[in-house]
Structure formats: C-alpha cells, structure tokens
Structure 1
Amino acid sequence: MKKISTKIAAFILIAIFICACNVVKRVPDGKQLLTKNQIIVNEKATTAENVFNQLYQKPNSTLLLGFRLRLHLYNLANLNPDSTYQAKFRNHPGKYERKSKWLSAKQVDKLGKSFWYHGIHDFLEKTGEAPVLIDSSKTEKSILRLKYYYFNNGFFNVNATYKVDTISLKKAKIKYAISTGKPYMLDTIQTAIATPVLDSLYETIKSKSVIKSGNQYKTIDFDEEKNRITTHFRNNGAYYFQPTYINFDIDTIQKGDKANVNVIINNYSFQDKDSTRTEPFKLYKISDVNIYTDYSPNNSNLKITDSTTFKNFNLYSQKKLKYKPYAITDAIFITKGGLFADNKTVLTTRYLNNLKIFNYPSVQYEIDTRDTTYSSLIAKIYLTPRKKYSFGASFDVTHSNIQDIGIAFSPSLSIRNVFNGAETLELSGRANIGSSKDLANPNNQFFNVSEYGVDLKLNVPRIFMPFSTEKIIKKSMIPSTLMAIGFSRQTNIGLDKENLTGAFTYNWTPKKNNTARFDLFNAQFVQNLNPQNYFNVYGSSYKALNEIGKTFNTEPSYFNNTTDRDLIIENGTSGFINDVLSGKTALTVSDKEYAAVKSIEERRLRLTENDFILATSYTFTKTTKTDLLDNTFYLFKTKIESAGTLLTLISNTTNQVENKNGNFELFNIEYSEYIKTEFDYIKHWDLTKEKVFAVRTFFGIAIPFGNSNYVPFSRSYFSGGSNDNRAWQPYSLGPGRSGAKDDFNEANMKIALSSEFRFKLLGDLKGALFADAGNIWNVYDNVIDEKSTFSGFKSLKDIALGTGFGLRYDLNFFVIRFDFGFKTYNPANEPGKKWFREYNLGHSVLNFGINYPF
C-alpha cells in the first residue's frame, strides 16, 4: 500500500513539474504573463480584498500552494483541432483514401469531431483558463479605479502610479504605488429643506443620521443617508418623493482636511404643459381602499356585479364574491384615513402573496379628484385568483442516513379557499421503496425498505383561536395555523411500524429574518407490527445474548441443535432471558453476564414497545442570511419541547390507577414523559475569491421523568452520517466510548461541533476540508453502562474527532456532495491508540449528500 501511495505521489509531482515548465506556452512573443499584483499604500503592502477588487486584471486563478491548474489545462488544449486533424491527411497523402475504404468518408470526417480529436480539447479549453496577459490600457483603468476607490473613502488628494517588473522573458508582475494623503473629516452638518412638512419629518430622525461631524468622509455613507431619508419620508405620506430630490453640498475650500456638509432637499418639481413648476411636497392620505378580488390581467375591463364594504375596505367582484371579507382585509395594512406608506404597501403584497390563493398582487395608487386639495390617494389592490384545485406529483431518488438509495412517488391535491376564508387544504400521499444495508435482509433483497402513507393538512392564514391574539401576535407578523393528520406504514424486513400523527401548529415572524413556531400539540402513535423479529434486526444484541446462552442455558429446546447451540429466535431468546431474570439459571444478580442480559432485555423492550407521545414545543429561529448567495451570515435556532406533562396532570387530577410498573397508561400504552431542549448555531465567513469558512455547534438533551425512565427512539439522538460526524456511519458512533456495540446506537444527549473550509476547484466543482467533533451520551435515564453515560466534564474526553476532504458540484438548484471522512480521534479505542490509528483509506467513510451539511 505504501509503495502504491509513493508511486501516485511521485506521478502527481512529475505531472505538476511538467505543467509548470510549460506555463507560458500560450503567451505570444512580446507579451508577458501576469504572475502577481502588488499594491503598496503609503509605502506599506496591503492585502485588503476591497482594494484588489478595483483591479481590471488579476493573475490566473490558483489552487493550493499557488498551483495554476486551470491555466495548465488550457495550455494542454489544442485550440485548432480541426486544422490539426486535416493536417494529418495533408502530411500523409493517401491516408484519407485508405481510411475511407474500411470506414466511409462520412465516418472519417465525423471522427474529427469525436471526443478524442475534438471534444477533449473543447473540454480543456472551456474548463481551463487562458493566460492573463499584461494589458497597459487595463492597467491604466485599474489606476483610475484605485483613485476613485480612495477618493470615495475621503482621500481627495490621492495619487497612484504603477510599474511593470519583468521576472523572465514572458513573465512579469505589476506593482501599484498609492499615496493617499490625509483623509477628509466631516465638520459641520447643516440642512436646507424647502418643504416645511419634510423639515419637520427630518427633525424626528436627525439624531440617527449616518453622516456625523467627526466621521471620515465616505461616499457610501451619503448614499445610505439619502436612502434613509427617502424611506422615512415615503413611509409618512410623501408619495411623490424620490432620492433625486436630496443633494449634498460639500465645502472643502480653505478648510484644510475638513469638509462642511449642507443637506439640501428641494421642493417637488413637475411638468405643467410646456413648463416645469415647483411646489412644496404634500403628505397624502388614503381616502379609499378598493380591492378587486377576481381581476384578470388579460381583461382590463372590470364589470363589477358584486361588492361589499367591510371595516372601511371596499371589495369588488366581477362574479359572486367567493371570500369572507375578513379573510382578505386581514392581509391588508393600507387603511382608509391613514398616510401613504411604502412599508405598508410592501407588507400588504407580502401577506397577500403568503395566502397562496392569489397570484402576486398588484397595488396601485391614483389621485382622488374628489379632494379639492389634491392630497388624497385611492389605493387599488388587484388580486388574480389561482385555480381552486391543483394537482401535483413528484418523483424523487433520495439518500438518507438509513437508506442507501430510495425511490419515492408523492401525488398531491390542493384545494384553495376551501371554506371561503383563504384556507388551503392539501391531501398528499407518498410511496417509497429503498435499499439499506443497515437493516436485516435474510432474503438478500435489493429493495428491502418500503413505506406508504397519506397526509391531510389545513393551513389557515391567521391564528385560529376562540379569542383575539392581535395584541400578542400582530397581523404584521403574518401568522398562520397548520392543522395536520397523517398515517404511514413502514415495512423494513424488521420490526415494521404503523405511525399515526397529528399536529396543531402556529407560525409567525416576530421580526424580519426571525421565525417562531408553537406546537400546541404534536401527537404521535407508533405501533410495532413485528416485535418478535427483534433479534433478527438487531444482530449485535442477538450475538451478545447468544454467547452468554451457550455457556449458561440449560434448556435444550432453546437451541437450534446440539452442535451449534445457537438460541432460536423468538422462543429460545425470550425463554433464556426469562430464565435468567427469574433466577432459573446459574447466573446471579452480581454476575456481569446477568447485568448484560438485563441490559439487552431493557433495550429490546425500549425499542419494541408501542409509543404514544403528546408533546408541546416552541421553536425560534433567527438568521442574518439575505439570499442564497450570501456567504457571511449566522443562523441561531433553539427549541424546547415538553411531552406527557398534561396527561400526567389529568391522570393525577382524575385519580387514574397506575399499572404494575407504577406508571399511567392511555389506550393501554405507557405514554412518554420528558422535556427536551436544543441549541443550534451556524456561522459563515466569506473569505473572498469564492472561499468560505463555516462552523456549526449543536447541543441537545432530552430528560425523561415522571411516567418514563427513557426517551422514545424517535425523539433520541444519534451520531455519524453525511450531515454529522462524517468519519462514522450513521448510528455507529457512541454512546460515549462504548464503541457502538449496538446496531442502532442512540442516546438522549448530544454535542456536535463542525468546521469546514470551502474553496473553488474547477468551474462549478468545489472542494472542502472539514473537521467534525462530537458524540452522544446517556444521562438521567435507565442506562447504567459508565462508558455510555455522561458523568460531568471528564466525559468530554469521549468527544470523537473526524477530519477529511470533500468534493461538491453545483447544479444551481442543488449541490451534489461527496465527503471522505477519516477517524482522527476515536474514544472507543484503547488508551494510547485513540489518535490516528484508523487514519487510512481502509477505515475511511464515503458520504454522499445533497446540498451543504450546514
């Protein structure tokens, strides 16, 4: 293995050396390859990205250690493959005729367009990067841009020059020298506002001005101040106001390095016949709000046949009005008698669009001619309904932590405005077949997982409660209520399950980029259909029990035969466990084998008994991400969930009888009772040049109490997988340093820390270096194994570390991801063998995922 690795490394080094020797292959005589830009500011070199972004010419892109891979690929390409192909026949007379005898002439011509002769060179040229040649005209433009950059940052006396330093015959670098001089500072700030009402409005926000005395001059601050003033005016009635009415008079004459600023806001100017007139700005009020509920953009002739007025809103329809008035007016923030405001217009269109029963709405304003002062506006809101019924279907190929591959089909039916209150009812089904190597598969079937289910969801665009919540959750927070019920049946050549769920959820946005979710209740009933198959599914548990049975079992009928002496599933395994726990074998409570059998039985009961969970939870999310291209942001998410507490309160109040285990039951099932909390924080830094550094921290804990001494499997945590610690397979890390002795290892506490450095390789192909740390532990539950339990800060030494590298290919609408994870620190190994003992390809884990892990 070492010899092969050495040969590969040597081959790569030789290839790099050969390419490096030919770096100026495409550089014409008399031209020079730009190898480096150097910028000296006030006799000191700078690496500021904002400064380098001003340059028109930048050297060819590099990978690690400055290797210009794309330039080398371009140099390998034949830029004229057609001419080269034809030259083969010109230089060898008769060759074309000979080839045409056993291939047709058409095929010989087509061969010249093949991948080997043409396609490979097209690929190299497209994927590669042409050499960047020094162009004096572009260098001069760079000088101008550098001057503008520093001028816009207050250096009004900036001077910039450049020099080309020749490195070799066809290589050179450019050295830019910049002398900024002293920056100009803002001195006195004055205003000259022609319209009195605008002057009064300005005084209310003057203290929050972006341009302040003592600040260094920056053009961007003046642009921001202009937008700030305009936004304030237009949100307070100044309908005709635009940023162009704001000017800044900056006086630097005989001021040294000081600048006086005069903020000038002129009167409103408009065209009156052949002349331009000016007059003071007016603050406009809304005289009417007219809503057209079935407007068609293809037919502008509105023939109103039905109308109504509700809370000062006028609703019109060309046919019979199909909506309860409040369903629409609750989404409108433009009010009769109120001032015109841009922010209310935006909020209205956002809320109406969020109803999902109309196409994107149109809001228009016109002068109300009934007002002789001409200071009133009629707001006209045009709504185009979507189709009442819509059908959809999706076909997906999926990959998850359990399924290696899955094929899913999901049909759906949506009914809009189902109760005339802008509600949306959605009925959807799903069918899935998949393949998983993690599940028992005695018949060696490729598709060994299947699931089908149906879901019914009703979305109400308001808080659905018998009393008003406007004072707590205002309608500007765009609240909604989701009521859902679902059923699914899962067959996985194992326990098989039926899952019945129900939820009543409130959603709203307290502030921009903040979301809140409150589950009034979230119910789940899980029934295991095939619990007797437990030891076929969980092979590690069977192996451990079987080894003990071979030594201590005395009942021959429990074995398959007298030679192998393997416990029969289910009669042999259950019989032996009962004999051990009832004292019918030689094992006693003090024996470690007795404790092992007891632990195996407790886990079997935990994973095979039916579960009923009735939970209430609150989730809050905050992010600074503005769009998909934003690479500098953070996301914080927290959740708190409580399950079973209400049921216990009812049981105690109504004097319900406890079962033999001392627990309460509902529908003959011991319901789960626990409290759970999670914290998730993600932070991205844009390092420029398409390099991003990202980190994620996660902490979660679920504590059982009252009616439970453990957390249900569906609410517990696992570690490993493509979105977790990528050096371990899903469910194969932890708990603690136990060594993942079970088939599906889970626990009720988790810590996860990840970091990733992302960079561009070739075109849409990107690379990443990552490190993942974390583990799961049992705490405050019925697990007593000290290797699996968290016992304070000393247990943090059980945090596992995985490192590796990955490849990502960006398809615009999603990213395909491959990650290679290596076990750097494995807490399950013996002391002295925890670090780098499994750091090789044989123990690596290949993860496939869609989109980035965090």
Structure 2
Amino acid sequence: MNRLPQQLNKAFFAATALFLVGCSNTKFVPQGDYLYTGASVNIISDSLSKSKKNELKKELEGSLTPKPNSTFLGLRPKLWVYNRVSEPKKESGFKYWLKYKVGEKPVYLSDVDIPFNLDLIENTGENRGYFNITASYDTLPKNKRVKIKYNVSPRTQYLINKVTFPADSTVLSKEINKTVAKTMLKVNEPFNLDVIKAERERIDATLKENGFYYFDPDNLIIQVDSTEVRHKVDLNVKIKNNTPELARKQFTIDKIYIFSDYNLRNTRNRRRLVRADVDTLLWKENSYIIDPKEKFRPQIYDRALYFKSGDLYNRSNHNLTLSRLINLGTFKFVKNQFVLSDSLANKFDAYYYLTPHEFKSLRLETLGKSNSASYVGGEVNFNWRHRNFLRGAELFTATLYTAIDFQVGGNRESNNIYRVGSKFSLTWPRIIAPFKFESSSAFVPRTRVELGYEFQNRTQLYTLHNFNASFGYLWKENALREHDLKLLEVTYISPEKITDKYRADMEDPNNPNARALQRVVEKQLIFGPVYNYTFTNTMLPKKHTFYYRGLLDLSANLTGLISGANAEEGDQKTILGVAYSQYIKTEHDFRYYLKLDETSQIASRFIGGVAYPYGNSVYMPFVKQFFVGGSNSIRAFRARTLGPGSYDPRTSASSFFHDQAGDIKLEANVEYRKKLVSFLNVAAFVDAGNVWLFNEEEGRPGGKFSSDFLSEIAVGGGLGLRFDFNILILRLDLSIPFRIPYYEKGERWSFNEIDFSSKQWRRDNLMLNIAIGYPF
C-alpha cells in the first residue's frame, strides 16, 4: 500500500544523486574561469533556406575547437573521475591510468581561442561561397559553466557562372579537354573549395590513366574571378607555367624486369643484375624474369602483370598488378619502380622487386573454450603450410587436430566428446576449368581442393567417422563482394560403435525421441554443389554499414531426378549400399550496423534459413539441419537445446541431452555497444528466434512449422563486457530468457518469474557465455 511513496522517494534520491554528481565537477573550476560546455552557431539570414541553414550550421559547429568534455546521460563521468583522482606521483601504474586514460582533463573557457574560432567560421564560410560572411559571439555563463554562441551572417552564397579549360593544342591540354563532360564544376552550383580540390584530383586521376605518370594535381590551378557577374564567379582551369616537362608527356612501357627472389638487403647494382645472362630469362617480348634458383614458374605472372611492352602507362593497371602480386600470398614485399629509358623518348622500364615469404611453416595452436551447454574443453592444432607447393604460388595446408569437451554441469548425465581429425587443402592462384575465366579484380581468383577426416567419440553414446571432400572456386569481384562455389562437396558419415545405453534409448518403442536419435547415427552420404555469396562494407568509415551472406546448398538433385527416387513411397535409392540425401537448403544472414558516434553503435542481425528434403529423403540429414542457442545465437538458451517450435525438451525420456535441430530457422538480434575506455566495451542485447520442422515428428510434438510460428519465438536478453586487446576480443555475455516457447500458450513471457534472489532460478536461467570475438 506504500509502494507509490517509496517509488517517489527512490526517484527523488536518484535525481538528487545525479544533481550532486553534476555539481561536483564545477567545484574544481579555478577562480575566474568557467567549465566550457560547448558552442552553438546561430545563422542569421533571411535569404537562405532552412536546409541550407542547417547544413551550414552543422559544418561550422563541427569545425569549432576545442570540444567540450564528453557526456553520458547529461553527466560528465570521465571528468568526474579526473577530478576525484589525485595527481599520481609517476606516469605509470593504476592511478595514472585511472586519471588520464579513464578520466578526461577538464576543458575551461580559458582553453577556448575565440578569435581563432571566429576566423575559422569565416574561412569555412568563404570556402563554401559565402564571401561576405561575418561572425560575432556571446558567452552564456551559468553556475560556473559557460556556453558560447556564435552569431553568423553568411549573406549571399556565390554561384558558378562559367568554367573554362585549357584551349591550346598541346597533348596535355587535349587530354584535359577530353574530361570536360565529367567535370565536377557545374554552372549555377555554389562555389565550394572542396569541389575545386576534388576536380583537380579527378583530372589528375584521368591523366594517370592515359600515360601522364609524372603529372600531379599541384600542376593545376583553378583561378576564381568574381568581378564579371554579381554574386557569381568564373572559374578558369589552367596548367601552371612552371609545370615540369616530364609532367607534360605521355609515357609507354618499354622493358619489364621481374626480380622473383629479391633480397631487400642486396646492395648490388640492379642494372648489372639485369644484364647478367646467367640470371635473366626472356619471358615475353621485352619482358625478363630474374630468378636464378628457379623458385617460380613464369606462368604465375601471366595472371598478375597487367602491363606488357608497348602499353601506355595506366594507373589502374599499375595498382592492379601490385595488388595481384601481393594477393598471391607468396610474396612478403612487393616493390615497383619506373625508370626512364636511356635511349627512347617518352618511355620507361618497369621493375618489380618481389621478396618471397618463407615457403614452409609449422604452427602449433591451442584453444580453451566454454559454452552454455555446460561443456568446457580444449583443442590442439598442428598446421603445416607451403606457400609455393608446385612452384606456381600454390598454397598447401595440412592440419592435424585433437579436441576434448567435458560436461561439467547440467541436469542430465555427462557424455564427454573426443575428436581427432585431419584437413588437407591445396589452392591454385587461378581458375582450373575447361572454360576461360576473366577477372579484372585486384584479388586473384582461386581453385581449391579439400580433403578431411574426423573421428568423433561421444563417451557412453556412440562414435562416428566423418569423411569430406570438395572441389571449387573462390573469387572476389572487389573488396566488398566475394563468391565461393564448390562444384562438388561430398560428405560421408559412418558410425563405428553405438553403446548399449544409446541403442536402448533409440530402439525403445516408448521413447518418442527414438527416431531422432536413430538419424544421428545413420550412415549418411551427401554430395552436390554449395554456393556462398558475401557482401560487406563494414570496413568502411561510414555511419551505416551492412553485411550479407547467402548460402545455396544442393544435394543429389540431378541424381535423384534421374533415378526416380521417392523415399516417402519406400523407393529409396542407394550408392554403394548407402542411401544418399536429397534436399535444397538456403540460408541468409543480414547484418546492419548503425554508428551513433565515435564510441557507440547499434548492431543488428537477421538470419533466415530453409532446408527442404524431398525425393530420396524424408528428413534432412542431421549435420545439415539448423540449430540455435549458445554464445553466437540466442544467448539466453544453452547451445542446441532450443526448439523445434514449442517442443519441450524437459519431457524427453532420454537420460542425456541430444541436440535439437530444425529444417526452418528464424533469428534476430539487436545489440547496443558502447566503449567505456580504450580496451573495455559494454553491451546490452536482445536475441529472438527458433527452429522448426517441415514434418511433424511423434517424438517432438509442437515442432512443425505452422501459421502460429510467431507465438513460438524464444526471446532473451542481457548485458555483456568486451575486452578488446587488439589481437583478440574476449567477450562475456550474461543473459536471461524473456520468453520461453515451450511454456503454455499465453504464459510464455517469463518476466514474472525473474527472481535474482533465488539460487535455483539463477542456476536455471542465468546463462554466462564466454567467447572470443563479437557474436556478429
């Protein structure tokens, strides 16, 4: 009956505490000074539109210095830390770190150079065409704090009246005039200094594509004349009189020299090296390879060098050649030099100095891990790599690994998992195919063959042999788009031993999960093409960035069609006595990142997938189904224990947990990320989703996908810490379920069950995920 007064009291005390924290920063302000809390720009103009005013205001405010102390919820916690921590005696240690790394030095009015900001405002305005701009200021002090308001009168913005380009008959002027149609200087557009600079860069870039190797943007001047027409300017693009003669000439490639095994410490005369007949191989016309030890076959340069003798110099081909040589993965350093020809005018020789990596390497990796399914364990990997396996920059890798996972908790009997296996991969830096594959990308297209084997032992349950092989292609259109096409991927799974305990469960006629347990240990043969497409621009410094990965996985589609397989009617075909799987599977992973400011962002993800068995299969093979839960999925639920649909895993008669899988998957995640200090980030997140079956299974009632699927969505959320150590990110996520799909309909939201004081509730619902890297 006293809840409302109590809540009001709490709110009052919280507000009072916040007020006192805010006030505590001002008591450290020196006498006669003020804590600077920021500046605003007031645009005074009747002629500018609202959008123009806002655009100019935003730009001017962004240019002002210094920036005030950072705030969080209206407070300045970093400044508070700085003020509260006394001066450390040395420039190291925890106290120094707390004051100067976590804390933030105060910004006072005395730190603000107002005349400089006034000049900055006027210069910025003039650069945007406001040639008659004026600025003044007012200080707005209050309680030892001060804001500055800059009053700006931009007046009329000057527009471009006319643009002229060089009109003489030189080769350089003619090439510049060919670019006029693409000029960025448009009549009746506002004068903008940044656009003028960009126009010089554009002309320079075009000339570089047409042989003008020595040209520079500084060789151009764009003259401005504002005397002809009122509030308008004439622009005259002109080549400077002092432009060097070399910059005025077009150059072509004469000879090409490739040093395949160049040592950066080699100080011998390079030209003497080139002329030594014993070292030099004539590769093509006027193209030479210097590789005395014959470490590389010359064919690797066919797909890497985009220049040949006689070509007009072209910057794109220049950069493309360097990128391809680097992306071969065989060379540690790639240097390039163009040298003027001794005897021919307007020609130069191209030199490429390539320093290879060590071809062979052996690496040992160890990994410790823990997951929400009550497993902890470790993995050891031995990796051997050869970067030039067949003397053609081929990459060969061989991996031997062993891993163990112990179940250290949970409500069912433990069954530890032991794995041992090997992987072999050979990648060629070209497309090996009966057709010609052309690519102008900076990334070398590749052909890859992979072989693998794994032996898995789930103690007290079963052991499996897993063989896999694939052949396919990888290529990137550019830095944003990547394709991975496996023309054929083959997986064969065969059980070796099934324990009496597992067999009893899977053959128990009273166990509704018996059929699902049987499918886990059935022999499986899967073969067909798999295609992955990835787009990402998350590496770009943009406010909005995206990631997308699409998967199409087909198995035995043509084989099943030709053979007329129909498993539902009992006509299931086999290969070497093993029934092969026939299905279509597709999955789409879309992510969106919104950068709020320099220290925070919102990350979101949606995953949708469908796997449809048909023809020779009634059910999807277990290894190709979808799973949810765990550290990179719906974090409030243990890995692979959620779903399908509203199926309640607590009703399972098995004495052990088995993975819950589905044919349809929907998942969505939203996460707010905030950097606190240099290495520590915090996050708040919400995850939602589930998996479903296409066909109802007797042992998993409620698992079939239906029109009521939205009511079966699981929801969880929580808080996390991310320790960013540059070389790795250690992540701790603590989450709880908000909505449990296997509860009775109408009772699935579980907020009323939250009870942090209950030990049993904490044990059943608090999920701590420890992982490396971000979940998405």
Paired amino acid for 2:301? I
Which whole-Å CA distance do the structure 1 matches of 2:381 and 2:593 have between them? 34
**1:296 partnered with 2:208:** no
Aligned to 1:532: 499
Structure 1 residues 810 and 162, CA, compared in 2 at 3 Å: closer, same or farther?
farther
For 1:714-793, list aligned pairs within 5 A: 714-741=623-650, 743=657, 744-779=659-694, 787-792=702-707
Cα distance, 1:753 vs. partner?
Answer: 2.1
Please tell me whether residue 307 in structure 1 is matched to residue 280 in structure 2: yes
8 Å Cα contact 2:287-2:309 kept in structure 1: no
State the distance in 1 between where 2:306 and 2:572 align.
52
CA distance in 2, matches of 1:191, 1:222: 13
The within-5 A match list for 1:282-681 is 282-301=249-268, 302=273, 305-312=278-285, 314-317=287-290, 319-371=292-344, 374-399=345-370, 404-437=375-408, 442=413, 448-465=416-433, 467-471=434-438, 473=439, 478-493=444-459, 494-532=461-499, 535=502, 570-571=503-504, 573=505, 576-577=508-509, 597=511, 599-626=512-539, 632-648=544-560, 651=563, 661-681=570-590
**Separation in structure 1 between the aligned mates of residue 71 and residue 440 of structure 2, nearest angstrom:** 52
Residue 772 of structure 2 corresponds to 850
The farther-off stretch of 525-534 and 671-680 is 525-534
Alignment of 1:66 with 2:74, yes or no, is yes
SS in 1 for 2:248: coil
Q: Which amino acid aligns with 2:587?
A: E
Q: Does residue 1:54 correspond to 2:63, yes or no?
A: yes
1:32-43, aligned counterparts within 5 Å?
32-42=34-44
Does 1:261 find its partner at 2:235?
yes
Structure 1 residue 433 displacement after superposition: 2.9
Determine which of 799, 808, 816 is the counterpart of 2:713. Answer: 799
SS of the residue 1:75 aligns to:
helix
SS in 1 for 2:331: coil
- The percentage of aligned residue pairs carrying the same residue is 26
Gaps of 5+ in 1: 83-112, 271-277, 536-569, 581-596
Q: Report the more deviating stretch, 798-807 or 409-418.
A: 798-807
Using the TM superposition, give the Cα deviation of residue 631 of structure 1 relative to its aligned residue in structure 2, in angstroms: 5.5
| Alpha-carbon spacing, 1:813–1:422, altered in 2? closer, same or farther (3 Å) | same
Given that 2:370 and 2:769 are in contact with CA atoms closer than 8 Å, whether structure 1 keeps it comes out as no
User: Are 1:183 and 2:157 an aligned pair?
Assistant: yes
Deviations 1:181-208 (A, max 9, x none): 2322223222126564344434444333
Shift of 1:781: 7.5
Amino acid at match of 2:379: A
Give the paired residue count: 744
**Which amino acid in structure 2 is aligned with residue 751 of structure 1?**
L
Decide whether aligned partners of structure 1 residues 157 and 786 sit closer, same or farther in structure 2, where only a CA change above 3 A counts: farther
Of residues 131, 134, 154 in structure 2, which corresponds to 1:156? 131
Q: 2:22 aligns with which of 14, 20, 23?
A: 20
Indicate if the aligned counterparts of 1:23 and 1:72 stay in contact, CA closer than 8 A: yes
| Residues in 2 aligned to 1:332 and 1:23: alpha-carbon distance in whole angstroms | 63
In the alignment, the residues of structure 2 paired with residue 791 and residue 687 of structure 1 have an alpha-carbon distance, to the nearest angstrom, of 38
Closer/same/farther in 2, CA of residues 261 and 755 from structure 1, 3 Å limit:
farther
Which whole-Å CA distance do the structure 2 matches of 1:685 and 1:46 have between them? 22
Length-normalised TM-score, structure 2: 0.87
Which residue of structure 1 aligns with residue 759 of structure 2?
none
Aligned partner of 1:76 in structure 2 is 84
Corresponding residue for 1:538? Answer: none
Aligned residue in 1 for 2:32? 30
How far the C-alpha of 1:340 sits from its partner, in A, is: 0.7
* TM alignment of 1:133-172, pairs within 5 A: 133-135=108-110, 137-168=112-143, 170-172=144-146
Q: Give the Cα separation in 2 of the matches to 1:478 and 1:403.
A: 43
Whole-Å Cα distance in 2 between the matches of residues 259 and 783 of structure 1?
81
CA-to-aligned-CA distance 1:246-283 (integer Å, 9 cap, x gap)? 2212222253332222222347833xxxxxxx478222
3-state SS of the aligned residue for 2:323?
A: helix
What is the letter of the counterpart of residue 131 of structure 2?
F
SS in 1 for 2:573: coil
SS at match of 2:676: strand
Task: Spell out, residue by residue over 1:624-677, the C-alpha distance to the aligned partner (whole angstroms, 9 max, x if none).
Answer: 2345x665321222121101224435656xxx9999942112232222111111
CA deviations over 1:578-617 (Å, ceiling 9, x no partner):
xx6xxxxxxxxxxxxxxxx4x4222122222122211311
Provide the rounded CA distance (Å) in 1 between the counterparts of 2:138 and 2:687.
47
Letter in 2 for 1:461: P
The offset of 1:689, in angstroms, is 3.7
Deviation by residue 1:336-384 (Cα, 9 ceiling, x = unmatched): 221111111211111111222222211211122232xx11121111122
Cα distance in structure 2, aligned partners of 1:762 and 1:420: 48
Structure 1 residue 764, shift from structure 2 partner: 3.1
Aligned match of 1:823: 737
- RMSD over aligned Cα atoms: 3.4
Find the aligned partners of 2:109 and 2:697 in 1 and give their Cα distance: 72
> Which letter does structure 2 place at the counterpart of 1:27?
V
3-state DSSP class of the match of 1:482?
A: strand
- Cα distance per residue 1:272-299 (max 9 Å; x no partner): xxxxxx4782221112222122221211
Pick aligned residue for 2:591 from 673, 682, 690: 682
Distance in structure 2 (CA, Å) of the matches to 1:8 and 1:409: 54
Report the secondary structure of 2:82's partner residue: helix
Q: Which deviates more, 309-318 or 212-221?
A: 309-318
Q: Distance in 2 between matches of 1:763 and 1:297?
A: 37
Contact 1:823 1:839 in 2 (8 A): no
The answer as to 2:203 corresponding to 1:229 is yes
Preserved CA contact (<8 Å) 1:504 1:522: yes
**Could you say if the C-alpha distance between residues 506 and 80 of structure 1 is closer, same or farther in structure 2, counting changes exceeding 3 Å?**
closer
Whole-Å separation in 1 of the counterparts to 2:79 and 2:239? 54
Closer, same or farther in 2 for the Cα pair 1:634/1:770, shift >3 Å?
same
SS in 2 for 1:326: helix
Distance 2:97 2:293 in 1: 62
Report the CA distance shift for 1:479/1:833 in structure 2 as closer, same or farther (over 3 A).
same
The Cα shift of 1:504 comes to 1.1
Task: Identify the residue that residue 127 of structure 1 maps to in structure 2.
Answer: 102
Deviation of the 1:519 alpha carbon: 0.5
Please say if residues 456 and 485 of structure 1, whose CA atoms lie closer than 8 Å, have aligned partners that are also in contact: yes
Supply the distance in 1 between the matched residues of 2:320 and 2:585 (Cα, whole angstroms). Answer: 35
What's the secondary structure of 1:762's corresponding residue? Answer: coil
| SS of 1:383 mapped into structure 2 | strand
When Rg is computed on C-alpha atoms for both structures, the one with the higher figure is 1
**Pairing partner for 1:707 from 609, 616, 625:** 616
* Kept after mapping to 2: 8 A contact 1:735/1:788: yes
Task: Please name the residue that 1:552 is paired with.
Answer: none
Bigger CA drift: 386-395 or 473-482?
A: 473-482
Instruction: Output the CA distance in 2 between the equivalents of 1:750 and 1:634.
Output: 21
Shift in Å, 1:485 = 0.8
Which runs of 5 or more residues in structure 2 are unaligned?
757-761
How far apart are the structure 1 equivalents of 2:597 and 2:260? Answer: 48
Q: Shift of the alpha carbon at 1:701?
A: 0.9
Partners of 1:67 and 1:676 in 2: how far apart?
51
Amino acid corresponding to residue 775 of structure 2 in structure 1: P
Q: Which amino acid in 1 is paired with 2:450? A: A
Cα drift, residue 440 of structure 1: 9.3
